[in-house]
Amino acid sequence: MAVFTADNKSFSYMGRIDFSRPDAPMLIYPGSNIRFKFKGTSLRIMIENIPMNNRMWIGALVDGIQQKIEISNDTGVQEITLAENLDDKIHTCMIFKRMAAAHYFRFLSAETDEILPDDHKYDLKIEYFGDSVSAGEVCEAVYYEGLCDPENHESSYDNSYFSYTFSAARKLNAEFNNNSQGGLALLDHTGYFYGPDIETLTGLESTYDKLSYVPYAPCGVSEWDFGRYTPDIVVFAIGQNDAFPKPEAVFDRQYTEMWKAKYKEILLTLKEKYGNAKFIIITTVLKHEIKWEYILDEICAELADPDVTRLRFRRAGKATDGHPRITEQEEMATELADYIRSIIR
């Protein structure tokens, strides 16, 4: 057995990942992942957790079999055994971030006989901006389709792998960055992210251009270098948490004009950075006031740009009172993947 540090060229990384320490890259956003092949009968990894919640899990797939691994909520280095007693042949592995702002973690090393490059070739690059639905929160509460979330679940059902974002990427053989966070709205002082104090509530306007985006993270907030990733498709899934703290604001024309202006400002800023990317404006099947759908329709019509299009899921805004479960996430993933295929032909 040998130890292979995180800066080994055989590791492939995906997502907005902090490489300021190349030997200890920090995974930040849900769905961020590390892929590689290995030869040997066992596999252990070393990580350093950066907790921001009471309970945290990471995910891994070894030879396509998924694992849910609870990690300690301290900042020490943790050794995790991912596989034992395997056949002595080449195996595949993906380590991924299941959760959003519950924690960050640094990947330090893998221990096995030999590490080999993943070498997978992707057909497309996608970038997502969204909230808890796009992050895959509470999706594993599989017996709660169409229902409110189970009480006191402590984020144990969160799994970005089963989000529509990750699933659509798999269907399209796409690389992706998923810049989504539970509770996120468009504007600061709205939504639920970094509450309950309204003054600290943080919106997409303050996170879309960030690497470390969590204001209370031990490492603080840092800027994202847009030169690192240029997507072909950008999916905007914002407009579901924006009713808090003033649900009546959506019926105030002055407010909605201001909201649309900020939405278009962010979208056009990204459009300038990304050149030929196509933008898709959506919400999800989580129930919300239908007026938000019409506001997004207006944004798309006002931009009048063939590279900015609008997708309404078949059950947008009306399917479930709780977070979409795996089946409901898969429903969205299928519709989104079909739509993306239709616009890239």
Q: Which CATH architecture has domain 124-343?
A: 3-Layer(aba) Sandwich (3.40)
Longest pairwise C-alpha distance within the chain: 66
DSSP secondary structure string for all residues of 92-129? EEEEE---STTEEEEEEEEEESEEE------SEEEEEE
pLDDT of 75 > 90? The answer is no
Dist CA 114 CA 262 (whole Å): 50
- In the chain, at which residue ranges do the beta strands (DSSP E only) sit? 2-5, 12-14, 17-18, 26-27, 33-40, 43-51, 56-62, 65-71, 77-83, 89-96, 103-112, 114-116, 124-130, 174-180, 233-237, 278-281, 308-310
pLDDT of 88 > 90? The answer is yes
pLDDT value for 81:
98
Confidence of residue 201 (pLDDT cuts 50, 70, 90): very high
Please report, for the chain, the start and end positions of each structural domain, with discontinuous segments joined by +: 2-116, 124-343
Confidence of residue 313 (pLDDT cuts 50, 70, 90): very high
- Taking only the tens place, the pLDDT of each residue in 58-70 is 999 999 999 999 9
Q: Average of pLDDT values for 185-203?
A: 97
The residue ranking higher by pLDDT, 345 or 309, is 309
Q: Which CATH class is domain 2-116?
A: mainly beta
The whole-chain average pLDDT of the chain stands at: 97
- Length of the chain in terms of residues written: 345
Dist CA 249 CA 245 (whole Å): 9
Q: Average of pLDDT values for 29-45?
A: 98
